[in-house]
Structure 1
Amino acid sequence: MSIINSSKKLVDKVEEKVEKGLQTVKETFDNVARHLPFANLAKRSNDTFDIEIDLPGVKKEDIEITIEGNYLSVNAQRKYKNETKADDYYLCESSFGMFSRSFALSDNINRDKVDAKYEDGRLYITLEKEESKKSKKIALK
């Protein structure tokens, strides 16, 4: 076997391993993305911001919202189990999983005035600017 043929085989093996590794990474990221809840961020006015997060199948008591430093984090756990028992069959469908999303907060957000409510599988979070950093109109004299 010539050196050229051996080198070609080695390059082919390396390329095959790289392609398999990239496919594994892609599948992993696709799986992670399927478990991230969708979130909408909107500026409602000059002084407030809204975050809406879809959390279908999550109970209110399984949601935790925390602020640490400049990050607001939402952690939730879905626990779903549907069981059907009959004389001739048994069916059990379940879905369990953790969700986590973090949002960077600017320095002008008042950490003490964060409002959150949960209804119909959607979490609504409202953030307000600090009073001293809200926009003000100045009257002319």
Structure 2
Amino acid sequence: MSKQVVPGSVERPLTRQENNPFAFLQQEIDRLFEGFSRNFPAFATVHSAVPQMDVSETDNAIEVTAELPGLEAKDIQVGLVDDVLIVSGEKKSERQEKQMDYHLVERSFGSFSRSVQLPEGVKAEDISAEIAKGVLKVTVKKPAPKQKKQIEIKTAA
């Protein structure tokens, strides 16, 4: 069952879950972790490696924003495979405290990958990405609508 990502859009939805069984699996895994971490707050940080992502649509562009606090451009990759936009990266952090009676070192590492199905015909050169204050904004120009042409049918003599 396909669900439209951007409400009110008259064109085909941005997600094609019926063609991608892994999209449905990813949704179910996300739902499982959300429910699990709600009941066990200590596990909420495990799921926090997956960034929150919003997809919106204007007349001539699709905008994807992702919350990536603490990450810089060098930590993030944005790519296009077929008609799928892929945002991935890795977060590494280390904290060290030294006091007279103790030495604390905490390290955390986590990688993430999110994907969004785009309309057919999107070109990589029509995609731009920028990050500011921990928010990644990816803008995708919509491809020109396909032209419809009526073909005249001639009768054979």
Displacement after TM superposition at 1:36 (Å): 1.4
Aligned twin of 1:58:
71
1:123 aligns with 2:133: no
Displacement after TM superposition at 1:93 (Å): 2.5
User: 5 Å matches for 1:35-46?
Assistant: 35-43=49-57, 45-46=58-59
Give the TM-score of the pair, scaled to structure 1.
0.66
Rg comparison, structure with higher value: 1
Aligned length, in residue pairs? 107
Runs of 4+ deviating beyond 3 Å? 26-34
2:55 partner letter: L
Contact 1:62 1:76 in 2 (8 A): yes
User: Structure 1 or 2: larger strand share?
Assistant: 1
Displacement after TM superposition at 1:84 (Å): 1.2
Aligned twin of 1:103:
116
Q: Structure 1, residues 36-84: CA drift from partner, whole Å, max 9, x if none?
A: 11001111x2111110001112232111111111111111100111111
- Percent sequence identity is 28
User: Structure 1 or 2: larger helix share?
Assistant: 1
Task: Please list every run of 5 or more consecutive structure 1 residues that lacks an aligned counterpart in the other structure.
Answer: 1-25, 135-141
SS at match of 1:35: coil
Instruction: Kindly report the root-mean-square deviation, in angstroms, between the aligned alpha carbons of the 2 structures.
Output: 2.3
2:140 partner letter: L
Contact 2:51 2:67 in 1 (8 A): yes
1:48 aligns with 2:55: no
